[in-house]
Amino acid sequence: MYSVNYHRASSIADAAKLLKTGDAKLLSGGMTLIPAMKTRLAAPSDLVDISRIAALAGITVSGKTVTIGGATTHHDVATNAKLAKACPALTHLAGHIGDPHVRHKGTIGGSIANNDPAADYPAAMLALDATIITNKRKVQAAKFFTGLFETALKDGEIVTGVSFTAPAKAGYAKFPNPASRYAMTGVFVAKGKDGVRVAVTGAGEDGVFRSTEIEAALAKKFEPAAVEGIKLSAGNMMGDLHASPEYRANLVVVMAKRAVTAANA
Amino acid sequence: MGIEGIGARVARKEDKRFITGGGRYVDDMVVPGMKHAAFVRSPHAHADIKKIDVKKAEGMPGVIGVLTGKQLKADGIGNLICGWMIHSKDGTPMKMGAWSPLAVDRVRYVGDAVVIVVADTKGEARDAAEAVEITYKERKAVIDAVEALKGSAPQLHPEAEGNLIFDWDIGNPPETEAAFKAAAHVVKMDIVNNRLVPNAMEPRAALGHYDKAEDHYTCWTTSQNPHVARLVMSAFYNVAPENKLRVIAPDVGGGFGSKIFIYPEEIICLWASKRTGVPVKWVGDRTESFLTDAHGRDHHTHAEMAFDKDHRILGLKVETKANLGAYMSLFSSSVPTYLYATLLSGQYNIPAIHANVKAIYTNTAPVDAYRGAGRPEATFVMERMMETSARQLGVSPAELRRKNFVTQFPHQTPVIMCYDAGDYAASLDAAMKEADYAGFAKRKAAAAKKGLLRGIGMSCYIEACGIAPSAAVGSLGAGVGLWESAEVRVNAVGTVEVLTGSHSHGQGHETTFAQLVNERFGLPLDQISIVHGDTDKVQMGMGTYGSRSGAVGMSAIVKALDKVEAKAKKIAAHLLEADEGDIVIENGALKVAGTDKNVPWFQMALASYTAHNLPAGMEPGLKETAFYDPTNFTFPAGCYICEVEIDPDTGKTEIVQFVAADDFGNIINPMIVEGQVHGGIAQGVGQALLEGAHYDAESGQLLTASFMDYTMPRADDLPSFQVSTSNTPCPGNPLGMKGCGEAGAIGSPPAVINAITDAIGNNDLAMPATPQTVWAAIRAATKH
C-alpha cells in the first residue's frame, strides 16, 4: 500500500467536501478498495470514510416500501427481521456475500457504487427495479449500472441509499466461483405487480443484465419447469479460467430455476 | 504406554503459543538498526536485460542501498545449484543452466529477482523499487513442458540444448518389451499431473545480519532445514564459511516442501547486509509466494500396462515429461526420478518395468518437492491405471488390485525399491468395510432419485519415506547424506533437553519427541524440551521433509537415549551398590529390579554433575550425541476410498464419504497422526478438485497469482474424514515407524478422480476437476 490520508466524514455534506481533496476516494467498508490498495492496484491520495455516518445506516420498511441506507452492512441487511418478512430473498442474498468478516464491514452502498460484475447486490437492485438514491438525485437501477465497474455516478456523487417496492415473490440463487466465492453466476428473480424481472450477475460480459428470455418464460408460468430447456446464447457471456461463456450460459438457466424454486418456497 | 508416553493422544505442547499469538516467526525478529528490503522482479516471462538504471531509486526517501546482480557477481556470490546429480541414459550429466540470485542479463520467469532495494521502511523500499528503471527486450516464452521440447520453442539456457535437462531411464527395457509381446491385454493412458502452488500460511522471509566487529553473519529464515541452508550457502554460494554463518529457522508457518530449498532472497539479504552495513529483512507477500515459491508436480505422462489372460500384471511402460521451470531448484532433479519412478511398482507384483523421464526447462517458477514429491505423481499414474484397467477388463477394481498385491516380504521391485513389510490386503479390507463398499449400489440408486450422479473410487498407495541410507542415495546422485543427529542433555536437576537436526514447522515434534523421552525415563513432558532450528545450538542435521523426522530423526534420539540410559544405569548401580544389569528405570527412578532400593532420576543426574561419587574413571556430566543412518527407506501404504455425488446441471462435486486406512508402522501420537492425514487429504483433494497453477501460454503471466483465482481447499469443500490404521511395524528402525506426513496427499487424488469418473461415465477427466471441467466431461460423455 502507498501512504494515504484517511478522513472520517461526519456527515454527507462533510464527505462531499472532503471528496474534493486531491485524488480522494470514498471508503464504505473497503472490501474491494483496501485489497486493491494493498496490492498497489489502486492508489488514492485520500480516503473519505463514510461508513460511520449515522444517517447513512439503517433499514426502514413502511408498508411495501423498503429503504436501506448506503452504509448499512451486509450483516445488518441479512439479519433485519422486517426486511426478512418484506423481501426474504434480499436477506438471503446479503447473508451469503463473502464471509462473516466481509459481511460486518462491507456495505450495500459500497457494493453498488463499485459495481463489480460478480457482486450480488446489482442483480437484486435490477430485478427489484430499485431506486438508487445519491446525495444529488435518484436513479433507477436499470440506468445506474452501466458496465464493468461502471455506474452512472458522477464526480462527487455519493450513494446514500436504495429503495424499492417489496415484490410478491423473489428468489436468489448463485453459483460461486470456487476460488473467490464471488458469484460466478447469480440470478435474482422477482415477481411484482409489473410482472417478472430476472437479473443476472457474474455472467454477463458487460456486467449485470436482465434475461428477457427467462422473464418471458416465467411471465407465462412462474414455475421452475418454465425455465427448463431454455438455451441461452453464450455470445454475451463472460469467459475466464473458471467458467467458459457456454458454461455460464448453462449456469444462468440452472440458477434461474433454483431462484424460482426459492421464490415459491 | 503411560499417559504421556508412546501411543498416547497427548495434546500438542506447542499449540498454546501458536493459538495465542505467541509464535515467533522470522517477521517477529527485530535486530537493532534493522532495515527493510523489497525486490524488483521481472514482469516478463522471458527477456534480455538491456539496462538497469537505479539513480532515481537511490534518491528516494529512506533508501539505503539499491543493489544489482552485477555487484553480487563482483562480490563473488555463487549461482544457485541443484544438489542431486542425475545422469541421462547416454551417461551424460544433467544440463544445469546458470541461476544467479539476482538476474544479470536475462530473466526467465515472471518473478525472477533483478534488484534489491534496502530502505528505512518496507513502504519506502517498495516505493523505491518501483522507481528502478529496467529496459527489457522481450523474448518468446514457453510455459508447457511438451511445447518446450519442440524445435521451434524458445531456448532458455545455453547449457541445455532443446530445453532438455536430462533424459533418464530406469528399469529393464528388454524384459518390459518381452512382457508386452506376451500380453493378453494392454491398457494405455495419457495422464497429466497438474501444477500446484504450495501456499504455506507463512510466506517466505529472511533477515540477514552481518556483524562487522565479529566478521560474522546471522540469517533468520523460513527453512525446513537450517543446517543444509548453512552448508549450501557456505560451500556453494560463497556467502561465508560455516564457522562465520549462523542460520536460525525459528517458528515456521508451514512448508510442505517449499521451504526445503535455498532461495535467492536469503543469500541476497546476507550479502546486502554486508554491502549496506545494516541488518536487512525481507518478508515476502502473498503475490511473491505465488510467483516464486517452488511449485509442485506438473507432469505429462503416457503409461501402458500389460496383463496376462488372468489379469496378472506382466509389465509397465511409463514415459514422463517433467516441467522443472526456469531454473533447477535444490532437489528438483530427484523429484521426477528417484522419488517418482522408483514407486511405479505400486503395491503390485510387476515383473518388468521401464520408465523414461525427461526433465524440461520452461519460463515458469522453478518446480521442486511439494508434499509427497514424486510419490503423488507415481501413485496417480498407478492408481488411475489400475482403476481404468479394471473398467476395461470388466472386473472389480478391488479384486484386480488384490490379485496383483505383493504379499511376500522383503519384495524387490524392478525399480530399485525393496519393500520391507506391509499387508496391503488388510488395508483394502479395512477401507472397504469402513466405506460399506458392498452397499454402494443402493446409495447410487438413492442419489439417482435425487437427480445426482454418485460414484466410488479407490486408491491403494505405497510411498517411500526416510530417504536413505546415505551411501545408497550418494550412489544415486544425492549431494548430501540423509542421516539425522540428536543430542540428549540431562541437566543437573534431571530435566532433559533434546537437540535435534529435524525441524518442526507444523509436525508437532515438541510433543512427539518429548513423548519418546517420557516413555524411556518416565519424566513428565514439562521437564523435557525439544530444541531445533538453530545451527549454533544443534551441531548438524538434515531437516524435515519426506516424512523422515519420525523414522530417521527419532531413531537418532533413540540412539542418544540408549547412551544416556547406559550411563545413568552405571551411576545408579554405583550409588545403590548394585549390579548395573539389575537397574531398571520406573516412574522417574532408577531401581534395583525386584527390590525397593532406588535412586530418583534427579539424584542420579545431580550425582553425574557433582561428580563427588562416580564410578572410577567415569567422566562427569550426562550428555550424549548420536548420528543415525537408516538401512533402508520405509514404506507406508494404505487404501483410500472416496465417494462423490455430482450435480449434473452444474458439474459440482461433493465428496460425501472419504475413508483412509493407512499402515504407518508404530505410532507415537495417534492424534497428531490423524491430523497429518487430515491435512494431507485436504491437500490431495485440493489437487484433485480445486487447485491448479495456470500460466498464460503466450505471455507467461501466472493467471492464478492470488486466492481470487487459485482455489485453496476450505472446510466446506471437505467431508468428515473416516481415518484408521492397521499397522505392520517397520523392521528397519528401532521404533518401527514408517512416516505419515505425506500419505494423505499421495493417496487421495486418484481416489477422488476414480470416483468422479465412475459417477459420470467418462474416464477422460483432468485435474483439478472443477465444476466446469466435470460439466464439460458429462456433456462429452452424453454426446458419444
ipTM: 0.96
Q: Which of B690, B694, B775 sits opposite A241 (nearest CB)?
A: B694
Residues of chain A with C-beta less than 8 angstroms from the C-beta of B775: 247, 250
Residues of chain B with C-beta less than 8 angstroms from the C-beta of A1: 123
Q: Give pLDDT tens digits for A85-118.
A: 999 999 999 999 999 999 999 999 999 999 999 9
Q: Is the domain of A121 the same as that of A156?
A: yes
pLDDT of residue A1: 82
**Are the Cβ atoms of B775 and A247 closer than 8 angstroms?**
yes
Q: Is the domain of A155 the same as that of A175?
A: no
Share of chain B above pLDDT 70, in %: 100
Mean confidence (pLDDT) of chain B: 97
Judge whether B168 and B357 are in contact, CB under 8 Å: yes
Closest to B116 measured CA to CA, from B282, B289, B291: B282
pLDDT above 70 for A72: yes
pLDDT above 70 for B784: no
DSSP-assigned letters across all residues of B32-99: TT-EEEEEEE-SSSSEEEEEEE-HHHHTSTTEEEEEEHHHHHHTTPPPP--SB--B-TTSPBP-PPP-
- pTM listed for this prediction: 0.97
Neighbours of B446 (CB within 10 A): 11
Strand boundaries in B96-241, DSSP class E: 106-107, 113-119, 133-138, 164-171, 185-193, 205-211, 216-221
**How many Å apart are CA B109 and CA B311, to the nearest integer?**
47
Residues of chain A with C-beta less than 8 angstroms from the C-beta of B770: 178, 242
Strand partners, B107: B47
How near does any CA of chain B get to the CA of A175, in Å? 8
Domain boundary, last residue among A165, A182, A212: A165
In a 13 Å sphere around the CA of B373, the CA atoms on its Cβ side amount to 27
CATH number at residue A231: 3.30.390.50
Q: Is the domain of A161 the same as that of A174?
A: no
Query: How far is Cα of residue B732 from the mean position of the Cα atoms in its chain?
Result: 21
pLDDT above 90 for A195: yes
Residues of chain A with C-beta less than 8 angstroms from the C-beta of B780: none
How near does any CA of chain B get to the CA of A47, in Å? 18
Q: Is the domain of A175 the same as that of A235?
A: yes
Q: Which of A40, A179, A243 sits opposite B772 (nearest CB)?
A: A243
How many folded domains does chain A comprise?
A: 3
A179 at B interface, C-beta within 8 A: yes
Residues of chain A with C-beta less than 8 angstroms from the C-beta of B704: 179, 241
Average pLDDT value for residue range B5-15: 96
Output phi, psi for B323, to 5 deg: -85, 115
Q: Is the domain of A177 the same as that of A117?
A: no
Q: Which of B650, B709, B775 sits opposite A179 (nearest CB)?
A: B709
Residue of A nearest to B775 (CA): A247
Q: Is the domain of A20 the same as that of A101?
A: no
**Are the Cβ atoms of A180 and B708 closer than 8 angstroms?**
yes
Domain boundary, last residue among A165, A182, A203: A165
Residue with cell 476414480: B754
Residue of A nearest to B690 (CA): A178
Q: Give pLDDT tens digits for B73-108.
A: 999 999 999 999 999 999 999 999 999 999 999 999
Average pLDDT value for residue range B728-751: 96
- Chain B contacts in chain A segment 67-126 (CB below 8 A): none
Q: Give pLDDT tens digits for B257-314.
A: 999 999 999 999 999 999 999 999 999 999 999 999 999 999 999 999 999 999 999 9
Residue B237 cell numbers, joined = 554460494
**How many Å apart are CA B510 and CA B516, to the nearest integer?**
11
Residue of A nearest to B286 (CA): A39
A1 at B interface, C-beta within 8 A: yes
pLDDT of residue B415: 97
Q: Give pLDDT tens digits for B127-163.
A: 999 999 999 999 999 999 999 999 999 999 999 999 9
CATH number at residue A32: 3.30.43.10
Average pLDDT value for residue range B390-400: 98
Q: Is the domain of A161 the same as that of A257?
A: no
Q: Is the domain of A180 the same as that of A195?
A: yes
pLDDT above 60 for B9: yes
| 3-state DSSP assignment of residue B488 | strand
pLDDT of residue A262: 98
CATH number at residue A116: 3.30.465.10
Cβ-Cβ pairs closer than 8 A, A with B, add up to 43
Average pLDDT value for residue range A188-210: 97
Residue A45 cell numbers, joined = 491520495
**How many Å apart are CA B771 and CA B751, to the nearest integer?**
18
Nearest 5°: CA angle at B83, between B77 and B87?
Answer: 125
Best A41, A116, A180, A187 member to test B by mutation, with max B CBs in 10 Å, is A180
Nearest 5°: CA angle at B426, between B420 and B432?
Answer: 140
**Are the Cβ atoms of B650 and A254 closer than 8 angstroms?**
yes
Q: Give pLDDT tens digits for B485-521.
A: 999 999 999 999 999 999 999 999 999 999 999 999 9
Residues of chain B with C-beta less than 8 angstroms from the C-beta of A247: 651, 772, 775-776
Judge whether B233 and B244 are in contact, CB under 8 Å: no
Would you place residue B467 in the very low, low, confident or very high pLDDT band (cuts 50, 70, 90)?
confident
CA distances from A41 to A34, A36, B111, B208 (A): 10, 5, 17, 30
Domain boundary, last residue among A126, A147, A165: A165
Q: Which of A242, A250, A254 sits opposite B770 (nearest CB)?
A: A242
Would you place residue A2 in the very low, low, confident or very high pLDDT band (cuts 50, 70, 90)?
confident
Q: Give pLDDT tens digits for B191-229.
A: 999 999 999 999 999 999 999 999 999 999 999 999 999
**Are the Cβ atoms of B123 and A2 closer than 8 angstroms?**
yes
Q: Is the domain of A147 the same as that of A216?
A: no
Q: Is the domain of A158 the same as that of A74?
A: yes
Residues of chain B with C-beta less than 8 angstroms from the C-beta of A251: 650
**Are the Cβ atoms of B709 and A178 closer than 8 angstroms?**
no
* Domain containing residue A36: 5-49
Residue B675 cell numbers, joined = 491430523
Q: Is the domain of A68 the same as that of A141?
A: yes
Domains of chain B: 31-139+201-254+259-292 (3.90.1170.50), 375-467+634-783 (3.30.365.10), 483-628 (3.30.365.10)
Q: Is the domain of A157 the same as that of A136?
A: yes
